[in-house]
Amino acid sequence: MVQKELRTQQAELASKESYFAHLKDLQDRIDEEELVVKIDAAIPNDPQLPALHDFLQSLAGESGLSLRSITASPNPPAQDKRLGKVSASLQLGGSYEGLKLFLSDLLRASRITDVDSIGFSSPQAGTGFVFTVRTTSYSY
Protein backbone atom coordinates (compact mmCIF):
# COMPACT_ATOMS: atom_id res chain seq x y z
CA MET A 1 0.00 0.00 0.00
CA VAL A 2 2.78 2.46 0.88
CA GLN A 3 4.64 1.57 -2.33
CA LYS A 4 1.58 2.36 -4.42
CA GLU A 5 1.09 5.74 -2.73
CA LEU A 6 4.80 6.54 -3.16
CA ARG A 7 4.63 5.77 -6.91
CA THR A 8 1.50 7.93 -7.25
CA GLN A 9 3.17 10.88 -5.55
CA GLN A 10 6.35 10.43 -7.62
CA ALA A 11 4.28 10.43 -10.82
CA GLU A 12 2.44 13.55 -9.65
CA LEU A 13 5.77 15.27 -8.83
CA ALA A 14 7.21 14.36 -12.25
CA SER A 15 4.08 15.74 -13.92
CA LYS A 16 4.33 19.02 -12.01
CA GLU A 17 8.05 19.35 -12.79
CA SER A 18 7.31 18.81 -16.47
CA TYR A 19 4.54 21.39 -16.35
CA PHE A 20 6.76 24.02 -14.71
CA ALA A 21 9.61 23.30 -17.14
CA HIS A 22 7.17 23.87 -20.00
CA LEU A 23 6.03 27.17 -18.42
CA LYS A 24 9.66 28.30 -18.09
CA ASP A 25 10.31 27.51 -21.77
CA LEU A 26 7.25 29.53 -22.77
CA GLN A 27 8.39 32.48 -20.62
CA ASP A 28 11.86 32.37 -22.19
CA ARG A 29 10.32 32.44 -25.69
CA ILE A 30 8.10 35.39 -24.73
CA ASP A 31 11.10 37.26 -23.32
CA GLU A 32 13.05 36.67 -26.53
CA GLU A 33 10.15 37.98 -28.64
CA GLU A 34 9.90 41.11 -26.46
CA LEU A 35 13.63 41.68 -26.98
CA VAL A 36 13.20 41.35 -30.75
CA VAL A 37 10.35 43.89 -30.68
CA LYS A 38 12.53 46.32 -28.71
CA ILE A 39 15.40 45.89 -31.17
CA ASP A 40 13.06 46.42 -34.12
CA ALA A 41 11.82 49.66 -32.52
CA ALA A 42 15.38 50.84 -31.88
CA ILE A 43 16.72 49.87 -35.31
CA PRO A 44 13.87 49.40 -37.81
CA ASN A 45 14.18 47.27 -40.95
CA ASP A 46 13.94 50.26 -43.28
CA PRO A 47 14.63 53.98 -42.85
CA GLN A 48 10.91 54.77 -42.34
CA LEU A 49 11.35 58.45 -43.19
CA PRO A 50 7.71 59.47 -42.52
CA ALA A 51 7.81 57.73 -39.13
CA LEU A 52 11.15 59.38 -38.31
CA HIS A 53 9.73 62.78 -39.28
CA ASP A 54 6.65 62.26 -37.10
CA PHE A 55 8.83 61.04 -34.22
CA LEU A 56 11.09 64.10 -34.35
CA GLN A 57 8.19 66.50 -34.81
CA SER A 58 6.26 65.11 -31.83
CA LEU A 59 9.41 65.08 -29.71
CA ALA A 60 10.03 68.74 -30.56
CA GLY A 61 6.43 69.68 -29.76
CA GLU A 62 6.52 67.85 -26.42
CA SER A 63 9.70 69.76 -25.57
CA GLY A 64 8.13 73.13 -26.29
CA LEU A 65 10.07 73.65 -29.53
CA SER A 66 8.72 74.28 -33.00
CA LEU A 67 10.11 72.21 -35.85
CA ARG A 68 10.79 74.79 -38.55
CA SER A 69 12.33 72.42 -41.07
CA ILE A 70 13.70 68.93 -41.41
CA THR A 71 15.88 67.39 -44.09
CA ALA A 72 16.52 63.67 -43.96
CA SER A 73 18.62 61.54 -46.26
CA PRO A 74 18.92 57.77 -45.95
CA ASN A 75 22.30 56.16 -46.60
CA PRO A 76 21.92 52.44 -47.32
CA PRO A 77 24.35 50.08 -45.59
CA ALA A 78 27.73 49.63 -47.22
CA GLN A 79 28.51 46.14 -48.50
CA ASP A 80 30.68 45.28 -45.51
CA LYS A 81 28.27 46.76 -42.95
CA ARG A 82 24.79 45.76 -41.82
CA LEU A 83 23.44 49.09 -40.59
CA GLY A 84 22.11 51.84 -42.79
CA LYS A 85 22.08 55.42 -41.57
CA VAL A 86 19.57 58.22 -41.88
CA SER A 87 21.09 61.66 -41.49
CA ALA A 88 18.67 64.39 -40.49
CA SER A 89 19.11 68.11 -40.08
CA LEU A 90 16.49 69.85 -37.97
CA GLN A 91 15.87 73.53 -37.51
CA LEU A 92 14.08 74.13 -34.23
CA GLY A 93 12.80 77.32 -32.65
CA GLY A 94 12.34 77.90 -28.95
CA SER A 95 14.09 78.23 -25.63
CA TYR A 96 17.31 76.73 -24.33
CA GLU A 97 15.28 74.78 -21.73
CA GLY A 98 13.22 73.31 -24.56
CA LEU A 99 16.40 72.20 -26.35
CA LYS A 100 17.69 70.51 -23.19
CA LEU A 101 14.40 68.66 -22.80
CA PHE A 102 14.38 67.69 -26.50
CA LEU A 103 17.91 66.27 -26.30
CA SER A 104 17.15 64.43 -23.07
CA ASP A 105 14.00 62.87 -24.55
CA LEU A 106 15.81 62.02 -27.78
CA LEU A 107 18.51 60.11 -25.91
CA ARG A 108 15.88 58.16 -23.91
CA ALA A 109 13.66 57.38 -26.91
CA SER A 110 13.22 53.83 -28.14
CA ARG A 111 14.73 54.60 -31.55
CA ILE A 112 18.52 54.81 -31.51
CA THR A 113 19.51 58.30 -32.59
CA ASP A 114 22.90 59.96 -32.28
CA VAL A 115 23.24 63.72 -32.03
CA ASP A 116 26.08 64.72 -34.36
CA SER A 117 26.10 68.49 -33.88
CA ILE A 118 24.16 71.37 -32.41
CA GLY A 119 24.28 74.99 -33.53
CA PHE A 120 22.24 78.02 -32.57
CA SER A 121 21.74 81.64 -33.40
CA SER A 122 21.26 84.21 -30.71
CA PRO A 123 17.74 85.50 -30.37
CA GLN A 124 16.65 88.87 -31.56
CA ALA A 125 14.61 91.00 -29.22
CA GLY A 126 11.37 89.20 -28.38
CA THR A 127 12.20 85.98 -30.23
CA GLY A 128 13.57 82.59 -29.17
CA PHE A 129 16.69 80.80 -30.25
CA VAL A 130 16.95 79.01 -33.59
CA PHE A 131 18.73 75.68 -33.15
CA THR A 132 20.21 73.47 -35.85
CA VAL A 133 20.51 69.85 -34.72
CA ARG A 134 22.09 67.17 -36.91
CA THR A 135 21.25 63.58 -36.03
CA THR A 136 21.93 60.07 -37.28
CA SER A 137 19.38 57.26 -36.92
CA TYR A 138 19.93 53.66 -37.96
CA SER A 139 18.15 50.94 -39.90
CA TYR A 140 19.08 47.50 -41.18
Q: Whole-structure pTM over 0.85, yes or no?
A: no
Give per-residue pLDDT as tens, 29-78.
777 776 666 666 667 766 678 888 888 999 999 999 999 999 988 876 66
Q: Where are the beta strands (DSSP E) in 16-128?
A: 66-75, 84-94, 113-121
Q: In DSSP terms, which residues pair with 74 in a beta bridge? A: 86
**CATH number of residue 134's parent domain:** 3.30.70.60
Domain membership of residue 32 as a residue range? 1-42
DSSP 109: S
Angle at 94 between CA 89 and CA 98, to 5 degrees: 90
- Residue 96: its H or E element: helix 96-108
pLDDT band with cut points at 50, 70 and 90 for residue 1: confident
* Judgement on whether residues 7 and 32 belong to the same structural domain of the protein: yes
Amino acid making up residue 48? Q
Looking at residue 53, its pLDDT comes to 86
* Judgement on whether residues 100 and 124 belong to the same structural domain of the protein: yes
Average of per-residue pLDDT values in the chain? 84
- Cβ-contact 130, 68 below 8 angstroms: yes
Q: How far is CA 29 from CA 22, 25, 33, 35, 96, in A?
A: 11, 6, 6, 10, 45
Count of domains for the chain: 2
